[in-house]
Amino acid sequence: MNLTPQEIVLVTVAEADNRTIQGRTLLQKRLYFLDVLLGLGLSYRPYYYGPYSPLVDSALGELQALRFLEEHQRDFDAINEEGFQVRRYDAELTKDGEVVVGLLKRRKPSDYRAMAKGLQGLQTAKEPDYATLSIAAKIHYILTRQAASMTVEEIQKVGKELNWKIEDRAHRLQKAIAFLERLDLVKQGS
């Protein structure tokens, strides 16, 4: 794969529904799995909300500076656990961004196809909502780092040590594991 982080982010937004990614968490976590599946070299590290790539974040900023993407802030009435109003930044492809995506398709057709196929693969595996996807990324990161079989409780314990919330609210934990199974990234034992 010969794509820069900027090109990877651009393709990911271009291939999303309505050419928009709803929130930075969704972008980070979707690309986490794409990085796992395609080896994109995005250097994910553990951070507050799970694995995080500074390269993706920086690329997002550069693409905005070039006006190929626009971020729209959306404030929700809900209040999060920390007492702040829930705020989301949606990344949307601009008209100029569409032109650049067109150029990319012509210049690097096989890389573009591989990315699009990878993203399609996540949809085929029924990619869950961003919160569940985030839990799936945390679980996968912990399992990969421990390189051993773990029970859900053990994963939650390590998650707690990392200050990561891996709670089973709204059955998210099971949904996350099911998603990882569909991607063939984990196997549940008896």
Partner 1 sequence: MAGREIRDPIHGFIRLEDGEVKIIDNPIFQRLRRIKQLAFAHLVYPGALHTRFDHSLGAGYVAASMGRALGLGDGEERRWLRRAALLHDLGHGPFSHVSENLLARFAEPTIIEGHGLEEIHELITMQLIKGLSFLEELDRERIIGLLLSEDKAKRPRMVKFLKVHDWPPDPLLKQIISGPLDADKQDYLLRDSYFCGVKYGVFDIARLHNTLETDSEPHEGNILAISEDGVHAVEQYVMAKYYMNTQVYRHRVRRITDAMLTRAMTLGIEMDRIPFLKDLYTYDGSDKFLQNYVEWDDERVTREILQTTGKACELFKRLRERRLFKQIYSKNLNQLEVNIREALSKLSQTQKGELEKKVGETLGFDPLQVMVDVYRIKSAREQVEGSEGRIRVKGKENFQKESALFSSIDIAMQDQYVEIYAPAEYTSEKDKQEKRTRWNGEVERIFEDTLKGDGP
Q: Which residues bind partner 1 (CB under 8 A)?
A: 4, 6, 43, 45, 47-48, 54-55, 57-58, 60-62, 64-68, 71, 73, 82, 84, 89, 96, 99-100, 102-103, 106-107, 145, 158, 161-162
**Closest to 145 in 3D by CA, of 15, 37, 46, 39:** 46
Rg over alpha carbons for the chain, rounded to the nearest Å, is: 17
Least distance from partner 1 to the Cβ atom of residue 161, Å: 4
Residue listed under structure tokens 């984990």: 186
Q: Which is nearer to partner 1, 53 or 132 (CB)?
A: 53
Between residues 61 and 123, which has the closer beta carbon with respect to partner 1? Answer: 61
- CB 170 → partner 1: shortest distance, Å? 23
Shortest Å distance, C-beta 21 to partner 1 = 14
Closest CB to partner 1 among 62 and 92? 62
